[in-house]
Every structure is written in structure tokens, then in C-alpha cells.
């Protein structure tokens, strides 16, 4: 059984937000904005896994400021981080935009984990004996490190200048 640890600045934290916060976030959205979250229904284990995976992916970015505590596991909270409006973000909070990015990415990841309609769908070409050839289908987003544009936009103001955000 997965456990979400969203302790701000915790040494074992594995998520920026809790499952309850994600449920509240998606409750405020239209069904069309959360199809994968809704399709998961009451499968809290899948939702927790998606939240943890989304956090792990967001950890790959280079953020401005510095970690608030040396012992914290996650890159947030941070000291010396400013909004685009010039307001300093407190070193004891996780910005709501970062949590929203985690929840949105978790929603995308839940859809990506849906079963493939057919195992053959992953190939562009298959061959026959004698002239055997297999050509895997290239997905539109072939790198697991790319962030969907709407997720990248949520965290853009926290990204260290000069860092690159990969977008789908």
C-alpha cells in the first residue's frame, strides 16, 4: 500500500501535495478537464502512484533559489524564490502552482498508463519471414522527460533562468 508523504520540508516526502488536495483540486474542474482522474474512480493506489511519479518528474527541473533545509528530500520548499510579480515565496510553503503542476501531470500520467488497444499498435511496420523487419512507432512525445506545455507553464516562473523546460 502506497503512502503519500507531503510533509513540507520532510526528509521522506514523496509528493508536493496530498491525495485529498488533489481530489479537491479536481473536484473544482469540469469533467472534460479530468478524464483520466475520473476514469481511475476510487483507485487511490493508482492516484497515489501518479502523484509520486509526477513529483519525481518535477524534481528533474532546475528551480531558482535554494532548498529551505539541507535535509529535505524534495526541491521545495525553497528560499530566495520570487514570483514574476516580485513577491518572495515563503520558505515554508509549497507554491500552489507547483501543486497544480503535480496534479495536472498526475492526470496526464494516469492516461498514459491506460492499456494499449492492441499490442500491434506500437509498431509502424511489421515484416514477414524472408524480409523480416520491425519498425517501432515513434510517439509524438518520445521522451519521458518532456513536460506537457500546460504543466510547464504552471512552474515556469520558478525555473532557474537559463534552464530549459522540455515541452511535449
pLDDT at 121: 54
Which residue matches cell numbers 498508463? 113
- Is residue 122 within 8 A of residue 136, CB to CB? The reply is yes
**Number of folded domains that form the chain:** 1
Question: pLDDT tens for residues 33-78?
Answer: 999 999 999 999 999 999 999 999 999 999 999 999 999 999 999 9
Question: pLDDT tens for residues 80-108?
Answer: 998 888 889 999 999 999 999 999 999 99
Residue 2 pLDDT greater than 70, yes or no: yes
The count of C-alpha atoms lying within 13 angstroms of the C-alpha of 148, restricted to the half-sphere facing its C-beta, is 14
39 lies in some domain: yes
Q: State phi, psi for 108 to the nearest 5 degrees.
A: -65, -45
Length of the chain counted residue by residue = 168
Q: How many CB atoms lie within 10 A of CB 70?
A: 6
Q: How many CB atoms lie within 10 A of CB 119?
A: 8
67 lies in some domain: yes
106 lies in some domain: yes
What's the distance, CA 14 to chain centroid? Answer: 12
CA distances from 118 to 114, 123, 147 (A): 12, 10, 26
Average pLDDT, whole number, for the chain?
85
128 lies in some domain: no
60 lies in some domain: yes
Residue 120 pLDDT greater than 70, yes or no: no
Residue 24 domain boundaries = 19-117+144-158
79 lies in some domain: yes
Which residue matches cell numbers 502512484? 49
Rounded Cα gap, residues 30 and 40, in angstroms: 16
pLDDT at 118: 47
132 lies in some domain: no
pLDDT at 143: 43
125 lies in some domain: no
> What is the pLDDT confidence band of residue 126, given thresholds at 50, 70 and 90?
low
Quick one: CA torsion of 100, 102, 108, 114, rounded to 10 degrees?
A: -130
Amino acid at each position: 500500500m502506497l503512502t503519500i508523504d507531503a510533509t513540507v520540508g520532510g526528509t521522506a516526502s514523496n509528493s508536493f501535495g496530498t491525495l485529498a488536495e488533489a481530489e479537491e483540486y479536481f473536484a473544482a474542474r469540469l469533467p472534460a478537464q479530468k478524464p483520466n482522474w475520473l476514469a481511475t474512480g476510487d483507485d487511490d493506489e493508482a492516484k497515489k502512484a501518479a502523484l509520486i511519479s509526477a513529483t519525481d518528474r518535477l524534481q528533474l527541473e532546475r528551480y531558482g533559489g535554494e532548498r529551505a533545509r539541507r535535509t529535505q528530500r524534495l526541491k521545495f520548499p525553497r528560499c530566495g524564490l520570487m514570483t514574476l510579480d516580485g513577491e518572495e515565496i515563503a520558505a515554508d510553503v509549497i507554491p500552489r502552482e507547483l501543486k497544480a503542476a503535480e496534479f495536472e501531470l498526475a492526470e496526464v500520467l494516469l492516461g498514459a498508463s491506460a492499456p494499449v488497444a492492441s499490442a500491434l499498435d506500437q509498431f509502424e511496420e511489421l515484416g514477414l519471414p524472408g524480409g523480416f523487419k520491425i519498425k517501432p512507432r515513434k510517439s509524438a512525445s518520445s521522451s519521458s522527460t518532456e513536460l506537457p506545455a500546460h504543466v510547464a507553464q504552471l512552474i515556469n516562473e520558478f525555473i532557474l533562468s537559463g534552464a530549459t523546460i522540455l515541452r511535449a
